[in-house]
């Protein structure tokens, strides 16, 4: 398997939003990018603010840009803020160094994409992202 399918991406989006409702989170936005960082599916819940598409995308694109979760990028940003700021300037979609985006791997461990979530706290955003990946039978 080399590319994430639209079916898989839509399953991830639906499950992440379902998790958000189950946890009574604030309105969420969820994006799924393929391994090249290009958008496959996106949804923004009612009453979300305007920049959520870009924030979700920058979390997920950053994860693919640096090969780690946006949580790990956030930890690096604390120790080496100028590195992450510089890297963000190089990535067309930017990088948001906060939890909520995780890499997506297939059954063979091959990287096939990333999912990014924003709308609630970073920790809660990440819970929704992980629920989405699990629902699609994929791993992080």
C-beta of 45 vs 140, nearer to a copy of itself: 45
Nearer to a copy of itself by Cβ, of 48 and 139: the residue is: 48
H/E stretch holding 15: helix 6-22
Report, in Å, the least distance between residue 134 CB and a copy of itself: 21
| Interface residues toward a copy of itself, by CB under 8 A | 1-3, 5-6, 9-10, 34-46, 48-55, 58, 64-68, 74, 77-78, 80-92, 94-98, 110
Least distance between a copy of itself and beta carbon 53 (Å)? 4
Cα gap 123→125, rounded to integer Å: 5
Nearest distance from C-beta of residue 26 to a copy of itself, angstroms: 9
* Phi–psi pair at 83, nearest 5 degrees: -65, -45
Spatial separation of the C-alpha atoms in residues 97 and 23, rounded to whole Å: 23
What is Dmax (Cα atoms) for the chain? 39
Query: 58 or 129: whose CB is closer to a copy of itself?
Result: 58
Residue in 52, 72, 6 with CA at minimum distance from that of residue 33: 6
Rounded least distance, CB 124 to a copy of itself, Å: 15
Nearer to a copy of itself, 24 or 108 (CB): 108
Q: DSSP letter string over 77-109?
A: HHH-HHHHHHHHHHSTT----SSSEEEEE-TT-
């Amino acid at each position: 398997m080399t590319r994430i399918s639209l079916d898989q991406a839509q399953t991830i989006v639906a499950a992440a939003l379902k998790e958000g409702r189950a946890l009574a989170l604030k309105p969420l936005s969820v994006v799924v990018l393929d391994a090249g960082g290009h958008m496959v599916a996106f949804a923004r819940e009612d009453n979300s603010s305007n920049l959520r598409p870009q924030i979700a995308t920058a979390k997920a694109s950053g994860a693919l840009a640096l090969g780690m979760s946006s949580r790990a990028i956030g930890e690096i940003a604390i120790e080496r803020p100028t590195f992450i700021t510089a890297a963000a300037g190089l990535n067309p979609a930017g990088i948001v160094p906060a939890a909520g985006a995780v890499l997506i791997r297939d059954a063979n461990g091959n990287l096939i994409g990333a999912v990014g979530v924003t709308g609630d706290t970073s920790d809660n955003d990440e819970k929704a992202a992980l629920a989405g990946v699990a629902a699609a039978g994929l791993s992080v």
